Every structure is written in C-alpha cells, then in structure tokens.
Structure 1
Amino acid sequence: MTLEGVAPNDQCGPERAGSCPPLPDGWPMRSFLGRLKDRVRADMLQIGTRRHFSPEEILIQEGDRSQYVVLLHSGFAKVTAQLENGREALLAIRAGGDIVGEMAALDDAPRSATVTACGEISASIVEYEDLQLFLHRHSDAAITLTGMVVEKLRWANRRRVEYGGLPVKARLARVLSELALSHGHQVRRSLVIGVALSQPELAALTGSSEVTVHKALRELRQERLLTTGYRRITVLDLPGLRRTAGLPDRPFRHPQKPY
C-alpha cells in the first residue's frame, strides 16, 4: 500500500489539515466536500455512480486517457507515479471528502499518476460530462476545485524546496507529523496514524533510501517520539516530532471521524 485565492479555505491546506475541524459527516474542512456549501455538497453527492473499492484496487491508472473523477466518501487512497529509473514515487495520500483525478478532467491530458485504494473505500465515479454540468451549475464549486489544484501544486513545489535542504530524519519527521495531524486518531495521549505505510513507501515520501529511513525511524524510536509495528506508526510526542522536523508546535484536533 500507500501521505498532496482559496481564502479562507487555504487555512485548511494539506499541511494544515489537523487544524481543521470535521464536518458532521466526518469530512475534513480542508477536503473538497468540506469546502463546498451545504446545498452544493448535497448536489455533488447526487451525481456519479457509487462504487466500493477493495484494498490495493486501482481507482485511476497513470497514462490512461479517461476523464472521470473519483469522489472519496470514506477510506484512504495513495497517489503514485512511475519515475524514469523504474521506481515508484509516492506523491500523496487522499482521504474521505477528497476528489482525485481532477487534473485530467480539467486539461484533457493523460493521467499523471495512479490512485490505489489503501484499504476499503467508498466512492463515487463522476463522468466528465456530469462534472462539467455540475461545475456550470455551481461556479463557486468550479473556483474551489481550481483553487485546490493550484494549492496542491504550490504545496508540492514548497515541499521539493524544503526537502532539498533537510536531512532525512527531519524530512521523515515532517511527513509523519503531517500524517498524524491529517489522518491520526487519538489513543490515550498518543496519535495512531490512520494510514498503513511500509518503509519503502516512507522512503518514497521522503525522497530517500529505505536503509536511511530505517535508520531515521530507529533514532525517532530511541528518542521516544514514536513507536512502530507492522505497518503501524504511533506518535508519542507530536511537539517533539515537529521540533525535529523544524516545524512550529500545533495542538491536535481530530480532523475527521474514523471510518
């Protein structure tokens, strides 16, 4: 299996997901569904074909010329892309409330990434024509969608710049603190990251080797910042992890209901 003009919503961007309270339905305010007005969200939920995806099932395939989008209702998905050297890069993690595949629907270009289910997923498949009709009916939703695409690109660019000057341990701490805030659930005084990640996937997220990630994880465990199990990471000290990542402290607020 496998983490990307919007004011005031840009306060709930990918890097600030944990600071955004959930909607009653459990979708984070940072997500596409979370940013829509109630009546627009209700309309969006009426279109498309409901689907259930099993773990490791592909929602979108890199290189395809399809233009449908997938609206995630619950569960997690990973976004990956093939590198020139044949390796796979883990680009992002998406959760319930998010929309994936929107770039191909907007620019009619081949899919730039593969989206794969990380566990059970409930979603809607929205065909290109239905999406266009919806966006014509709701111009504010079109602005929101475009803004989210721009935001993801800015976030990706900022991550590349930041990571170029950070050691692997700090990169890993940054990835894990972001995941804890966006997808963590509280167990006593700890945060269990709600997405199972392997060491190769953590290496892909941090742009490092698996051996280096293994060493960094060991150091973070020794510093009692986290514990690890089989595809499970529990953050014991979020402020300490964020200090290691070079990030300011931020209190945890549950971003969404567990699925």
Structure 2
Amino acid sequence: MGAGGGARGVLRRLRGANGPGVRVSLVGAGPGALDLLTLRARDRLLEADAVVYDRLVAPEVIALAPASAERFDVGKGPGDSHRQAFINELLVELSARHERVVRLKGGDPFIFGRGAEEVEVLRARGVEVEIVPGLSSLLSAPALAGIALTTRGVSRRVALVSAVGEGGEPTPVGDLATHVDTLVVAMGSGRRREIAEELRAAGLELETPVASVEWASWPDQRVRWGTLEELGDWTGRAPAVLVVGDVARGVEGARE
C-alpha cells in the first residue's frame, strides 16, 4: 500500500483509526436498527478489512463495510452453531492477514455476548484488541417499548439475567427476582413457562406486570403486555427481552 494507504489511510488518521497496534475491534452493533449504531462502530466498519458477525446483526449494518472486506457469518442459529473455539481461531488468523478486523456482535459485546472470552484469547496470542461498546438489547429493548427500567418510587433495583447459561443449561431466575424491583431477562423465549413457574414459586404475585419485547428496533418489532399469570402461555419469536415488575404497568396506553 502506498504512503498513508490512500483515501482509507487518510480516513484512519483523521478519525484516530483504532489506536497503535490494534488489529481487532470488538464492536457492539446495538439492538438492530442501523441508526442506533454508534459513530465509532460505524467508523470501524467503514475501515474494515474483514468482518466477523453474528446472526442478530442487521444486513444494513454489515453493508457498511467496504465491498472488498472479507465477511464471515458465525451466527448461532437452529441447527447451525459454530464452536466458540472456531470463532476465536478465525479472529486470530484474520488478525495475521489484515490491518483492521471487526468482530461484530449484537447489542453490547460485554453483556451476555461472550466478548470477554474472545478478548482473552486474542490478547493471549499477542493480538491487540479494542472494545467498541454498543447499546445493549437488555437496556434498549425496554426503552423502545416505552418501559423505564428505573422510576422514582417504583424501581430502584434492576437485575439483568440470561435465561440460558453455559452449555445451554437454564439459569434460575426466581431467587434473583425477590431481591430487585425489576427483572430483565434475555434469551427467555423458549423458557417462558419455566420462568413463570420459577417466579411464582419465589413468591411473585400472579398480577405482577410482564412485558415481552421481540426483535427490538427491527421493522417487525412486537411488544406484548400482560401478567405473570399469562406469561407461561405466551408464544413468540426470539430474540425477545422479558421485563418483569411494576415498571411495565406504567405504559398502559401503549398496549396493543
């Protein structure tokens, strides 16, 4: 590449690029919508030589990368799960071949995104890594539905939890719910009935307000409102974020 790397080299210098020695940028893509992407995330994609992205990243976001950039879909979907070890090795290999590698994750890479594991592997192999935070779906999905997770006199304690733990094992949520005012649950679409039973067993009232935000910020976003008594009978599509607590009661006018 010529001195400065041409137009892309100029852009990198003007924007500060990724910092000295950085090879991989771990970028949060937010909940989905292109206009909810951060400016820094956009800039990293515009400069990318290779992009490794997950299933829940909108095509419009991926399209920001140059046409010449290599693209790798490593998303985990039904019947198609790439081992994390494969993704780690792919990032290491790409960092040896390219100046700017973007690892693109839905939401925020450090909130139930396994981002810390990838950073640990890369740094252990001598690869410089930059973290570009994104809007976590656990926070932005409720906001997009009009739900304020903290409200004076209603909710001052909020817990974020994934319904699925290591190896796909279910994560208990009942005990946690008794210590907070609002519970926000990710990856709970397939466990709605179990979650409802756990929360009832923990002592939550049947009338406890519940909301489910599906595909937040995407064109087919859907919000369901109800109570803990109804939660177990709900059906819907992943990804969805569940909100349990009185904060869901404050948006009656928005109910479908």
Greater helix content: 1
More relative contact order, 1 or 2 (CA 8 Å, 6+ apart): 1
